[in-house]
Structure 1
Amino acid sequence: MTTRDTTVAVFRPDDERLRDAVELVESLGATPVADPMLEVRETGASPRTDADYTVLTSKTGAEIARETGWEPGETTVCAIGSATAGALREQGYDVDLVPDEFSSTGMVELLAERVDGARVEVARSDHGSQVLLDGLEAAGAYVHETVLYELVRPEGAGGSAELAASGDLDAACFTSSLTVANFLAAAEERGIRADAVAGLADAVVGVIGEPTRETAESEGIAVDVVPENADFDELACAVVERAAPTYHD
């Protein structure tokens, strides 16, 4: 198989993230299959301004925080991951803390010795991990969660599931547990869930992070690639290299 014949499903929301993902896969010499599995719906809420620590977990959250006019004041701004930190800085915010491990667990480990008795604001989507809230509360923090946006499955999503079911998908890049769940739900609606999962067994499946791996494997999807960092570019490069290792030639 040549690299150009390698089809790679990407599930990013239908905005610049999807366009960037498509361009990256094309630059690697593969053929992207753009199938957005997440749609962002803003709630209109803004992070609280009276917290000692404020945790943001995504690039989308950083952008929405700015749109709502949020100003950090004296709060310590914490970002899960370099992408979130970069997005916050792009929006004009200073970032004080970023965990070494880009995950809810990593953030809990970073803050555990700091937040006893402190007010911690967690601003994120409606599908955030309970691990973050429980871990901070166990560390003695007074935790408040603000849902900045909801994540829903776009109408019509699932073309990649049809390709997987027919054996025509060579690779897939799952960026969250929710993208896995929505892929399977789209396949279920089409009556091809079992065939789609079987098709993924013959494809290279990459995921960002251990929670996404656990979700995929619990649904019978074998995972081939988990990048060291929770970064889409790193994920896509590793997946394409695994699916078509001659692309460097």
Structure 2
Amino acid sequence: MKIAVFRPDDERLEDAVSLLESLDAEPVPDPMLAVRPTGKKPRQADFVVLTSKTGVELAHEAGWNPGDATVCAIGEGTAAAFREYGYEVDIVPDKFSSHGLVAVLANRVQGQRVEVARSDHGSDVLTDGLADVGAKVNETVLYELVRPKRSGDSTELAANGELDGVLFTSSLTVQHFLEAAEDRGIREETLTNLEDMVVGAIGGPTHDTARDHDIRVDVVPKTASFDRLARKAVERLREKAEV
């Protein structure tokens, strides 16, 4: 089972490769995201929302102190990063998404200053949703997400029918994967051969982006984690092999 994984080229990619190998799959690491820090840090506010482990790391490196703010994490992965760097976390929604965070904050933030600190590709669902319930929202871009120059080898494997699965871990990984295929002039072949693979998406927004680009998604874990995504994809591939 040859499976492409698109995580950033850091410990996340290393962990993904190790996990797939432990599941007797052959990982094809092809980072589709690189982080370009802006040097900014979250502003002081009544509520501060961070949406990724990367955001927490950069905020910490910039010397951010939440003060008396209510600290909110979009999911348990972000919350774990907060705790790793010594921050207390006050709110983590049961549903790890922008919609889930808006829902849990809706009755608490009217007239309050809410700081949302994240990447330059954050969803408007979060900021617009908080504004709609009466929050005074400010957004700070902590980092930009760009496609690494050497990315895209997996698209050639896909176009040649040499992949069994792909694991998309954000909407941008979908977009960058297709951009890489377009750059090589193999977008059509890549899309065609994805129909024969097991395609995994880490959560609803990633699934929706794939669907919008005419990519059928086979696996979406109930909890947005790479571990569950990888395990479900490998399970599906084994089921296909038995047919």
* TM superposition score category, shorter chain reference: over 0.9
Q: Secondary structure at the match of 2:110?
A: coil
Distance 1:8 1:112 in 2: 40
1:60-119, CA deviations, whole angstroms, 9 ceiling, x for partnerless residues? 011111100001110000001110000110011000000111100111001011100000
Q: Tell me which amino acid in the other structure corresponds to 1:79.
A: A
Amino acid at match of 1:215: T
Report whether the alignment pairs 1:239 with 2:227: no
How far apart are the structure 1 equivalents of 2:207 and 2:97?
A: 13
After superposition, what is the alpha-carbon deviation per residue over 1:168-195, rounded to whole angstroms, capped at 9, x for unaligned? 1101110111000000000000000011
SS across alignment from 1:97:
coil
Separation in structure 2 between the aligned mates of residue 240 and residue 160 of structure 1, nearest angstrom: 18
> C-alpha distance in 2, partners of 1:81/1:172?
23
Q: Which residue matches 2:39? A: 44
From 74, 89, 99, the counterpart of 2:93 = 99
Q: How far is 1:246 from its partner? A: 9.2
- List per-residue Cα deviations over 1:140-162 (Å, max 9, x = no partner): 00000010000000001111111
Q: Which residue does 1:206 correspond to in 2?
A: 200
Structure 1 ranges of 4+ moved more than 6 A: none
Query: In the alignment, which residue of structure 1 is the partner of 2:111?
Result: 117
- Which residue, 160, 163, 167 being the options, matches 2:161? 167
Match of 1:140 in 2: 134
TM-score by length of 1: 0.95
**1:80, 1:63 → 2: CA distance?**
15
- Give the Cα separation in 2 of the matches to 1:193 and 1:243: 24
Instruction: Report the Cα distance in structure 2 between the residues aligned to 1:53 and 1:188, rounded to whole angstroms.
Output: 41
Tell me the distance in 2 between the aligned counterparts of 1:43 and 1:12: 20
1:226 aligned partner? 220
Where structure 1 has 5 or more consecutive residues not aligned to the other structure, the ranges are: 1-5
Letter in 2 for 1:239: A
Counterpart in the other structure of 2:186 = 192
Task: Tell me the residue number matched to 1:28.
Answer: 23
Compared CA separation, residues 55 and 228, structure 1 to 2 (3 A):
same
Q: What are the ranges of 5 or more consecutive residues in structure 2 without an aligned counterpart?
A: none
What is the CA distance between 1:208 and its match in structure 2?
A: 1.2
Distance (Å, rounded) in 2 between the aligned partners of 1:244 and 1:150: 37
Deviation at 1:245, TM superposition (A): 3.9
Pairs aligned (count):
241
- Give 1:3's aligned residue: none
RMSD: 1.1
Take 2:167 and 2:7, find their aligned partners in 1: how far apart are those partners?
9
Aligned residue among 1, 4, 9 for 1:9: 4
Q: State the AA in 2 paired with 1:25.
A: L
CA-CA distance at 1:137 after TM superposition = 0.1
Equivalent residue, structure 1, for 2:75: 81
The secondary structure found in structure 2 opposite 1:244 is helix
